[in-house]
Structure 1
Amino acid sequence: MSEAFIWGSSGFIALYFLRLNRNNFYSLALASVGLLDDILKTEDDDEKLIRVQKNTKELIMLLIKVFVLIFVCITIFLIWIYFLELILSIDLNKNDPSIIAFSIGASIPFFIPIKNSSSYSEVSQLFHKLILDNPNLGLRLLKREIKKYSSRSEKKEKFLIVSGLARSGTTSMMNALSKNQIFDSLSYSNMPFLLSPKTWAKVYRPSGKKRKERRHGDGIFVNENSNEALEEYFFKSILKDSFITSSSLVKHTLSEESYELYLRYQGLISASPKRYYLAKNNNMLLRYESLRNFNKNFIFLLLFRDPLSHAFSLYQMHNNFSSEQEKDPFIIKYMNWLVHHEFGLNHKYFNLDKSKLDGDKSTLNYWLKNWINFYRHAEKIKDENTYFICYETYCENPNFILNKILKKFNSPLVIESKPYLQRKEVKEKYSAEILNEAMIIYNKLKSKEL
């Protein structure tokens, strides 16, 4: 019994010590994959060499640190055994099957709860960082998948993008359309391997049985198989964050090469010639003009909403998410990966015409200005196959709108949606002058609605 205690307690102390220093192992993993990502990066050779040399030195230092930790762990283990042998006056039988006692003791530290303010576990956070913080590695995997699967799918120039300023009903629209089984979309199950959906689908196939309300608290329930606005990570990666500044998302032009790669990427998600690619992307206005120049056939749905209720919803979400992000900083990192800057501590406005959007984000006036900034530019679009959809009209008669959209794809409405419209009383102060400016734009949009 005493021998079992010695081996068991030794295993516990050794592994508990390593667990207390687990962040060093996390850092080593991140640095290793980060170095590989740097090697794959396409840039000037001199700059690349300097960065690789610097990161190699950091990696070597982390390796040394980890080796020292392992050495200290072994030393503590041996000292503890020697100490207990002296105290208990026991000469351990080396032939004794003590591995069981050691294994049990070494397992106990992993059952001790770790304080974690995030809804994501430490391992899950590490996994996401390893993949999403290394876009060059992701792009290499994307090109590998395209090479492997491109012969099985053709480029389809007809696809559907649901867009609009956040809180305009884009998620509801995407979900309602996807129920009709002619569309394929990215879903939470594709996380975090967003650029290699085929490969990851072979490994991860969630059941999707458990549903929970999303963080927005808006009555929309999701699970691992729910569609989500995830394709923006593709543009973030191929454009190397060039359109993302410290305060705004900047309008930009897609190259023909990037457009062709986008179609190939869609083909990995929607390969069947009888189905269409569907994405919700509230940032698509940033590159809409160049995308439309390359493709006149894709369907672009642009949702809009009564400016006061829309701005109030954004204002509420901003306050809610800011509070959540203060408690859990990983939410900010997660939203930054997906280029979700609609509200919260990482909010960035749309820089669509080189104008700056100033103001206090804790006021309703700022969000009214944000509405004007977005829809002033959107209202000017007059292209065929671009359709403006009023949120209020859609909520009152969703099946009427859905039928009109599905006719563009020669498909009937299979699953109907229930009408929904819940207006919240706006008690916050706002400028009547700013609202009047917004209403002028809103009325122009109403005159164009589908």
Structure 2
Amino acid sequence: MAFTLNYTLLDRCLHRLAFGVPGLQLTAADLESRLYAAELRKVTAEHPVFIASLPRAGTTLLLEVLHRFPVFAAHRYRDMPFVMAPMVWARLSGAFRKRAELAERAHGDGMEIGFDSPEAFEEVLWHAFWPEKYHDGGIDLWRAGDGKDEAAAFFAEHLKKIVALRRPPQENGGEAQCGRYLSKNNGNIARLDLITAMFPGAKIVIPFRRPLEHAASLLRQHENFLALHDQEPFARRYMADIGHYEFGALHRPIAFPGRAELAKGRDRQRLDPGGLDYWLAYWIAAFAHIAGRQAGNPERILLLSYEDTCAGGRAALADLCARLDVDAGGKLDAAAALFRAPSPPRADARGADPALVARAMEVEARLRAAVVA
């Protein structure tokens, strides 16, 4: 998100308009549905793929890799700020279309993004239809019974809009358009039950990392975004508007079962996101919950080891494509080339509670067993 810091005054005014006027995005979406009704009737968006996990698990890398396959359609950064009306906004913004230059994102992890890079902004939709799930102190879980008919209809049409915008018509007379919506939204680990209920043909891909390394990376990013939010008020506003509550001054933990008990610990360190124990406890609660959901729906919720997938390269990607029913065609080698060997371990276990480390190893073993199965 580094490029947002270079937004022009007009960019920032449009952003404040899109997110500051209550109901404007939904109104724009409704107008768009009416304007493009005939076109959208010819579009199919079946079998979507949702990539989700705790942040820093490799979800952005997986998004970039899968986005290389033409069957997938995803949001892009240039869909901001009117993310609920992407077709209308694409037409309106065409006259001042920005160049697709790349810049390192705000995470400082070497990944470069630009206005044409894939990104899923659907957290805006979840927040619009389930505002009661979001609190100052955290975010509640969604259950299968939390579905809303209006939301389901809106999401179904929104997926078709992204396919219509990103996938060219087929060659059978240029009439029908079909594709698969591709999402990367870490917040979706809070709503695994509802997503599988709302989207019967969907699959959810959840990468995981070695817990100590993952927790240390989460802590570093929290510190990074604390500084960013303090130095750049617009960056903080931007992340709040699109629902990025993972780090920094905006951090709101998801209320995974058992997280509060894990966070109590022997002292107050686990209650402080400025400490390693906090993030290790969060990792345990999150992935224990994910493991439970995956065990009940192994065909729909797919677990991946980040380290093993990166090391596996082409073979690992071919296996993932098979599990997702993706015809890789001639794109497999180019997509697999994005994988790099994972960095050597650098987290220090001496900075963590041994009991938490042991518990995390148990959860990781459970995840790995599910991958093998």
TM exceeding 0.5:
yes
Deviation at 1:122, TM superposition (A): 3.9
1:396 matched to 2:311? yes
Secondary structure at 1:376's aligned position in 2?
helix
2:205 aligns with 301
Question: Compared with structure 1, are the counterparts of its residues 135 and 220 closer, same or farther at alpha carbon in structure 2 (3 Å cutoff)?
Answer: farther
Unaligned stretches of 5+ residues in structure 2:
168-176, 265-270
1:86 aligns with none
Q: Which amino acid in the other structure matches residue 327 of structure 2?
A: S
**How many percent of aligned residue pairs carry the same amino acid?**
24
Report if the CA contact (8 A) 1:309-1:423 is conserved.
Answer: no
1:409 matched to 2:321? no
1:444 matched to 2:334? no
1:134 aligns with 21
Secondary structure at 2:359's aligned position in 1?
helix
1:170 aligns with 59
2:292 aligns with 380
Secondary structure at 2:115's aligned position in 1?
coil
Report the TM-score, using the length of structure 1 for normalisation. Answer: 0.70
Deviation at 1:338, TM superposition (A): 1.3
Secondary structure at 2:107's aligned position in 1?
coil
Question: Compared with structure 1, are the counterparts of its residues 122 and 364 closer, same or farther at alpha carbon in structure 2 (3 Å cutoff)?
Answer: same
1:90 aligns with none
Q: Which amino acid in the other structure matches residue 319 of structure 2?
A: K
1:93 aligns with none
Q: Which amino acid in the other structure matches residue 205 of structure 2?
A: L
1:251 aligns with 141
1:336 matched to 2:220? no
Report if the CA contact (8 A) 2:53-2:207 is conserved.
Answer: yes
1:233 matched to 2:145? no
Q: Which amino acid in the other structure matches residue 131 of structure 1?
A: A
1:324 aligns with 228
Question: Compared with structure 1, are the counterparts of its residues 119 and 209 closer, same or farther at alpha carbon in structure 2 (3 Å cutoff)?
Answer: closer
1:182 matched to 2:97? no
The count of aligned residue pairs is 333
1:281 matched to 2:185? yes
Deviation at 1:283, TM superposition (A): 0.9
Report if the CA contact (8 A) 1:251-1:353 is conserved.
Answer: no
The counterpart of 2:279, out of the listed 367, 372, 384, is 367
Deviations 1:90-138 (Å, cap 9, x if unpaired)?
xxxxxxxxxxxxxxxxxxxxxxxxxxx9544444322211111235111
1:270 matched to 2:163? yes
Matches within 5 A, 1:52-131: 119-131=6-18
Unaligned stretches of 5+ residues in structure 1:
1-116
Q: Which amino acid in the other structure matches residue 394 of structure 1?
A: T
Secondary structure at 2:205's aligned position in 1?
strand
In structure 2, what is the Cα distance between the partners aligned to 1:209 and 1:157? Answer: 29
In structure 1, what is the Cα distance between the partners aligned to 2:51 and 2:313? Answer: 15
Question: Compared with structure 1, are the counterparts of its residues 420 and 155 closer, same or farther at alpha carbon in structure 2 (3 Å cutoff)?
Answer: same
1:422 aligns with 343
Deviation at 1:386, TM superposition (A): 1.4
**Which deviates further from its counterpart, 157-166 or 409-418?**
409-418
Deviation at 1:424, TM superposition (A): 4.3
Deviations 1:160-208 (Å, cap 9, x if unpaired)?
1001100000000000110122111101110001011001111224454
Deviation at 1:149, TM superposition (A): 2.3
1:158 aligns with 47
Root-mean-square deviation (Å): 2.1
In structure 2, what is the Cα distance between the partners aligned to 1:178 and 1:227? Answer: 7
**Which deviates further from its counterpart, 377-386 or 119-128?**
119-128
